[in-house]
Structure 1
Amino acid sequence: MVIATIASGGINTPALQAVEIVAHRGASHDAPENTLASVNLAWEKNTDGVEIDVYLSKDNQIVAFHDKTMKRTGGGTDLRIVDQTLAELKKLDAGSWKSPKYKGEQIPLLSEILPTIPEGKRLFIEVKCGPEIVPFLKADLKKAGRKADQTCVICFGSDVCRDVKQEMPELKVYWLSGQRKDKETGEWTPKLESLIETAQSIHADGLDLNANEKIDAEFVQQVKQANLGLYVWTVNNPDEANRLAKAGVDGITTDRPAFLRDALEK
């Protein structure tokens, strides 16, 4: 983890905040997102965590993929991931769109990614579908035998977060949300109070928010006072990452984990 200097009472206090660097869809700047190539490259770059996106296939297999359809990264068709069987998905080329050297890279199963997690690192599993995935997620995690602190679940669906926490209370669960600023009023929505209230109501362990100018030391302090963690996405600019680290966020998700780590350490 990168150790940041954070401001406290107007005085800079060093080594108080260890900022977790999380590789967004693996090392997705350099390798095709949500593939074993991307995940393994992120581990090789010594990232603290890797974030992947998952869906439940037609035959109830958990696969790593971001979009609803395969058009952008799965071969150019408009077919939906949830309507395909694992056998059909495994036939797709999930790498060529990024670079010819990744031709033939397959869509991986979650069960193929879990064994790659090094000791002391963790996988952030973003659920892109509904609560129907929860029993299959529980089964995959149990079979993999990883320590509870080596995986966590994130999702925009508060119902998914709630159900995961109910079924697997040992896991950390972070509720994903985005804040937007009204161009006319300058108001940010949803308001932080509302975000905290929802996170607490579903027994989430924290929030995972889009990085924005509203997130400062006071904002982070409010989240921490509610006994919640705070992660932000997706930050590739070192100056913004440094600002957020000093504000006290727990982790920063980035497409360029090694680049961002090096920049922060300098």
Structure 2
Amino acid sequence: MPLNFAHRGSLTEAPENTLPAFQKALDRGVRAIELDVQLTKDNHLVVSHDHHFTRFNPAIQGTIKDYTLEAVRRIDVGSAFSQDFAGVSLPTLDEVLAICPETVLLNIEIKNIPVLYEGIERRLLETLEAHNRGNVMISSFDHVALKRIQTLNPAIDLGMLFYYRLLRPWDYAVSSGLRIRSLHPNQVYVDQTFVQACRQLGYEVYPFTVNDPARYQELVDAGVDGVFSNNPAIFGA
């Protein structure tokens, strides 16, 4: 049975990467959730995909790294989705870990590009350790960040993200020297040949972001281990 990730929580039902979105996903009985982490000015891990706030409120200038956690908590990211969520702010990773049971696999993406957060890898691992949290995979488009995670904690599962169509990315994963659990490619170029090449090297394959049920079935037929999806009908499968 495919292991499908609720991408940024249930983002069609609540503001993405917020506690309500994660709770909606949990209420649907998901087995896996994806979320993104960044660092505030005062070195707190907050959960957000975008580095800036313009999608939520165009009047808010700057990026997450320019704000303290106290200031981030005052920024309303819920009203842009619906007035039902007015006043909802970005959560800390601590708050998300507090509501997500150990049985749910968390894919935590280090959102390190274009902003490079010095020390985010150590801060993330310290937070996971403080919560005694297992059943976690750390992913990133920044493969240097994955290398730092591996150096700090060789036992943790890593997911290697790819956006562009590369020549033999499975060979790149091998040559990187990283102990990768899975490749996370853009779904548009994933086919059976791609999946088989990864599988032969022992890698799982989780494409993103798959919202169309017909495309989802094509990928399942091609042999993927699961997908990242915004569609509750898919991530709840």
TM-score after normalising by structure 1: 0.82
Contact 1:75 1:94 in 2 (8 A): no
Note if 1:142 corresponds to 2:129. Answer: yes
What's 1:155 paired with? 140
Provide the C-alpha distance between the structure 2 equivalents of 1:197 and 1:85, rounded to a whole number of angstroms. 41
68, 93, 106: which one aligns with 2:89: 106
CA contact (8 A) 2:102 2:133 kept: no
Aligned residue among 3, 8, 14 for 1:31: 14
Code of the aligned partner of 1:145:
N
- Which residue identity does 1:252 align to in structure 2? V
Could you tell me how far 1:71 is from its partner in structure 2? 0.9
SS at the partner of 1:232? coil
Q: Paired residue for 1:79?
A: 62
Moved over 3 A (4+): none
1:215 is matched with which residue? Answer: 190
After superposition, where does 1:1-266 map in structure 2 within 5 Å? 18-73=1-56, 76-129=59-112, 130=116, 132-147=119-134, 150-179=135-164, 189-191=165-167, 193=168, 195-200=169-174, 201=176, 202-212=178-188, 214-257=189-232, 259-260=233-234
Q: Which letter maps to 1:206?
A: S
Instruction: Spell out, residue by residue over 1:55-86, the C-alpha distance to the aligned partner (whole angstroms, 9 max, x if none).
Output: 01111100001111111125641311111110
**Structure 1 residues 74 and 61 mapped into 2: Cα distance closer, same or farther (>3 Å)?**
farther
Change (3 A) 1:39 1:232: same
- Residues 148-180 of structure 1, C-alpha deviation per residue, up to 9 Å, x if partnerless? xx211110001011111221222211111113x
- Greater radius of gyration (CA): 1
> Whole-Å Cα distance in 1 between the matches of residues 172 and 59 of structure 2?
37
TM-score normalised by length of structure 2: 0.92
Q: CA deviation at 1:118?
A: 2.2
CA 1:43–1:100: 2 relative to 1, 3 Å:
same
> What are structure 1's unaligned runs of at least 5 residues?
1-17, 180-188
- 1:91 deviates by 0.7
> What's the CA shift for 1:142?
0.4
Secondary structure at the counterpart of residue 233 of structure 1: coil
Distance in structure 2 (CA, Å) of the matches to 1:48 and 1:98: 25
| d(CA) in 1 for partners of 2:28, 2:154 | 31
Q: Indicate the SS of the match to 1:175.
A: strand
CA RMSD of aligned residues (A): 1.6
User: Whole-Å Cα distance in 2 between the matches of residues 57 and 245 of structure 1?
Assistant: 38
Q: Distance in 1 between matches of 2:125 and 2:193?
A: 36
Report sequence identity in percent. 30
Q: Using a 3 Å threshold, how does the CA distance of structure 1 residues 231 and 172 change in structure 2: closer, same or farther?
A: same
Does the 8 Å contact 1:21/1:253 carry over to 2? yes
Q: Distance in 1 between matches of 2:125 and 2:51?
A: 22
SS at match of 2:5: strand
Residue 55 to residue 119, structure 1, CA distance change in 2 (3 Å): closer
Q: What letter corresponds to residue 48 of structure 1 in structure 2?
A: R
Q: What amino acid maps onto 2:42 in structure 1? A: D
**Pair 1:38–1:261, CA change in 2 (3 A):** closer
